[in-house]
Chain A
């Protein structure tokens, strides 16, 4: 059991009975720890998943308004099976981590109930603003609590929150301050910070278990929109329609047709492409002066816009992401790509995005040639065909590449000034003469070498140290001669599409698909192909499957 002592919250949480009797005041996160399975073996056990910062922000904006901002950072989440979303089901909370949540909750609660916001967030006026008003408090907490906990509050939960608001209001002689204290206490509960899933016996398959309606709604909403269920979805859970195939289909179609699908799609691809790591990318400014922080942010946005436009607006084939010449640029990115990108906004204003199409004959096409991908998988001062090839295998094809042994001598590959080995290919060839290195480099380097025309900052080049760059190679026996043909070859690999299905399933479930559901996954993959590799259709197929909500028996 993990216990956290927090003096300020103690006054009200304990006194009002929010926390079970304890001295000093404690919040019991034992359930959180227990819910985070340590075993690596995939199971279909229901999970508790900690909200990501983006999800937290989105929920807060949805519930309290878009001007609510998170003032602080949350504890990081490990990437498990290639996804942070899977990692969120395997993390607990440290004392300092909890303190961060508490501080952030305080700020949000205070702002939500300040004079500027209370009139449109609180659906009633207290009889006396300097005293408690349990009825009005309950109206507010019922409305907000359902959205925060993603289910209606139980009677005892509601009583606890109302009592806390009343005590706070009377002690501090301010109704809204009391309400804010109750709200902040809700926002540090596991019920909010974690997506808790409740398991019930399956109605259609006796002897099996599935998520209850509210948990289904939550899984659906985070899958499509990366946020909590909206009122309509909650109502569908409440009235039981979500437990029917027709009701479920109706909600899936609604979620998929919403503009908010873009939020969900973006969140998934940020996770799959490991774009969170772009925050940490830095380059040697002397070598790559145009690679600024703003340029990195634009590079990430470029790829996400390309993906969402292709997959949602154009309803394009997923495989087209590897070959499409259509993208979006800003003048900042234009300076990296060395192409003209006009912006019509005045100086100092945020730059406009412009639809851009690489012309025929241009060496770029597909997201593998974007600055985001090639710069993320490079060193600060040079490219790395090995890292790029490894990323391609692991991120795009879901193939695990072993880490290098601890005693590898990297001297040859790191020395870009050696006149004997002017290009990365020459350096890697020299390095790979060591038998212990050859095996892995064979599966990574040919792919990465095809991207050598793109320097560490993504700028195009045809030579390195005066020597021409050779981008020829093969992948799984299929030849390519540059980044363009690499994209074409990769797009046709079965692993490229099956990887997306695996990742998207795991993203939705919060865990790897267990072997027991292998047949189901094959069915989904076949459906993906039948539907022309349309990702929105894939999401709908996944979400409509009973297996998407199936669970092992509760322990």
Chain B
């Protein structure tokens, strides 16, 4: 299995030698269960992305966070309010009255404008640097984290992938976010931060789709991976989960046509692409771009897809989720937005700005769970359907 069973204990995250053999068994069983006939023709398997969340690999004893987990949201507010010189009783009034979207107006107002520039209140989400840097604690570099060696180098800040034992794994996003309580997670327990976003998105936004093409998935050989955006959102089944075997139309918008070329080796598909771009829900994954995108995946015994997608992402697009979500995002997800901004900026590890030297991209890895689906062709993009066109006309 790509994600190891006992990955989140320090001892158990060491790589397993027979990982490929187990993946091969899973692949074989999965294909048998799906009742798919093999032939000389290319075989195609299609999926809808049930989950797209950070590939978390938190240890249950938290030993991957040597300084401990970061403070609670309330403590972070207290620290920031103290740093801007707010009297303690006034700060305490604000903190104890935080109630998400139902917060009293004065509390919402004060916390939204807790930034200070020359002593004047500033909107903390639009101007996150108007709030002091809390310097979040990071995941210790060097232990195991999911991902890929994106830059071809191995240095002290890199991780080792627990499934493949690949060294030099670049996943700075996990390093800066992994010690926040809402980012803790594993293969069996999704991190609430990402899971919440994706769960919101999949009921509102067009689904993400994966198409895999190979001559024979049971044998070593070449594989092509496509990741598309659908015209439709996902449908639910009787249990409230996402419905399998739904037919989605592929949005032909050229931006969402992502392809990866690679190999199948012992049941594990590994592929790289030239670019990756997808559109999700603004509250979660908005315009999501990856440079040097890498894909690795295999089939579960029930025929579903388990995969990791990695690459360098412009870190400001990740911040945009918090910056645009503002107070509601901050108080409902427990993510301190200015602190998140500093963490991303400090952790960015690629594509330095030629003028400032500030890195503009951060490496990361995301977990994909795909359930069986069908992909049909669509004549027109979701952005040019009659409904969208009518709305555009009526808004002029």
A-side interface residues toward B, CB under 8 Å? 283, 285-286, 288-292, 331-332, 334-336, 338-344, 346-347, 460, 462
A380 CB to closest chain B CB (Å) equals 12
In the complex the two chains form, what is the Cα distance from A208 to B261 in whole Å? 85
In the complex the two chains form, what is the Cα distance from A466 to B256 in whole Å? 41
Residues from 333 to 387 in B contacting A, C-beta threshold 8 Å: 372, 374-376, 378, 385, 387
| Contact status B239-A338, CB under 8 Å | no
Closest residue of chain B to A349, judged by CB? B387
| Contact status A290-B376, CB under 8 Å | no
In the complex the two chains form, what is the Cα distance from A290 to B239 in whole Å? 9
| Contact status B249-A291, CB under 8 Å | no
Interface size for B (C-beta < 8 A) is 21
B-side interface residues toward A, CB under 8 Å? 35, 232-233, 235, 237-239, 241, 243-247, 249, 372, 374-376, 378, 385, 387
> In the complex, which residues of chain B have a beta carbon less than 8 angstroms from the beta carbon of A462?
35
Q: Which residue of A283, A334, A460 is within 8 Å of B246 (Cβ)? A: A334
Beyond A289-B244, A332-B235, A344-B249: 6 further Cβ-contacts under 8 Å? A291-B238, A334-B246, A335-B245, A339-B374, A341-B374, A346-B385
- Assess A335 versus B238: contact at CB under 8 Å? Given A340-B247, A340-B374, A344-B249: no
In the complex the two chains form, what is the Cα distance from A336 to B374 in whole Å? 12
In the complex the two chains form, what is the Cα distance from A101 to B374 in whole Å? 48
| Contact status B238-A290, CB under 8 Å | yes
Quick one: which of A286, A332, A342 has the most chain B CB within 10 A?
Answer: A342
> In the complex, which residues of chain A have a beta carbon less than 8 angstroms from the beta carbon of B35?
460, 462
| Contact status B237-A334, CB under 8 Å | no
| Contact status A335-B249, CB under 8 Å | no
- Assess A335 versus B239: contact at CB under 8 Å? Given A346-B385, A462-B35: no
| Contact status B232-A347, CB under 8 Å | yes
| Contact status A341-B237, CB under 8 Å | no
| Top 10 A-B residue pairs of the complex, sorted by shortest distance between their CB atoms | A340-B374, A285-B238, A289-B237, A342-B376, A335-B245, A338-B245, A340-B247, A289-B239, A292-B238, A331-B247
| Contact status B243-A289, CB under 8 Å | yes
| Contact status A341-B243, CB under 8 Å | no
In the complex the two chains form, what is the Cα distance from A341 to B232 in whole Å? 13
> In the complex, which residues of chain A have a beta carbon less than 8 angstroms from the beta carbon of B376?
340, 342
In the complex the two chains form, what is the Cα distance from A550 to B337 in whole Å? 85
| Contact status A334-B238, CB under 8 Å | no
Quick one: which of B233, B238, B376, B387 has the most chain A CB within 10 A?
Answer: B238
Q: Which residue of A289, A343, A347 is within 8 Å of B238 (Cβ)? A: A289
A458 CB to closest chain B CB (Å) equals 12
In the complex the two chains form, what is the Cα distance from A346 to B384 in whole Å? 12
In the complex the two chains form, what is the Cα distance from A335 to B385 in whole Å? 25
Closest residue of chain B to A460, judged by CB? B35
| Contact status A334-B241, CB under 8 Å | no
Closest residue of chain A to B386, judged by CB? A346
> In the complex, which residues of chain B have a beta carbon less than 8 angstroms from the beta carbon of A339?
245, 374
| Contact status B238-A331, CB under 8 Å | no
- Assess A334 versus B374: contact at CB under 8 Å? Given A290-B238, A292-B237: yes
> In the complex, which residues of chain B have a beta carbon less than 8 angstroms from the beta carbon of A342?
247, 249, 376
> In the complex, which residues of chain A have a beta carbon less than 8 angstroms from the beta carbon of B237?
285, 289-290, 292
In the complex the two chains form, what is the Cα distance from A248 to B146 in whole Å? 80
Closest residue of chain B to A283, judged by CB? B238
| Contact status B243-A290, CB under 8 Å | yes
Quick one: which of A288, A332, A344 has the most chain B CB within 10 A?
Answer: A344
In the complex the two chains form, what is the Cα distance from A339 to B247 in whole Å? 8
In the complex the two chains form, what is the Cα distance from A128 to B245 in whole Å? 64
In the complex the two chains form, what is the Cα distance from A503 to B304 in whole Å? 47
- Assess A289 versus B374: contact at CB under 8 Å? Given A331-B246, A346-B387: no
A232 CB to closest chain B CB (Å) equals 41
> In the complex, which residues of chain B have a beta carbon less than 8 angstroms from the beta carbon of A283?
238
In the complex the two chains form, what is the Cα distance from A302 to B235 in whole Å? 20
> In the complex, which residues of chain A have a beta carbon less than 8 angstroms from the beta carbon of B244?
289-290, 335
Q: Which residue of B238, B375, B385 is within 8 Å of A288 (Cβ)? A: B238
In the complex the two chains form, what is the Cα distance from A460 to B378 in whole Å? 28
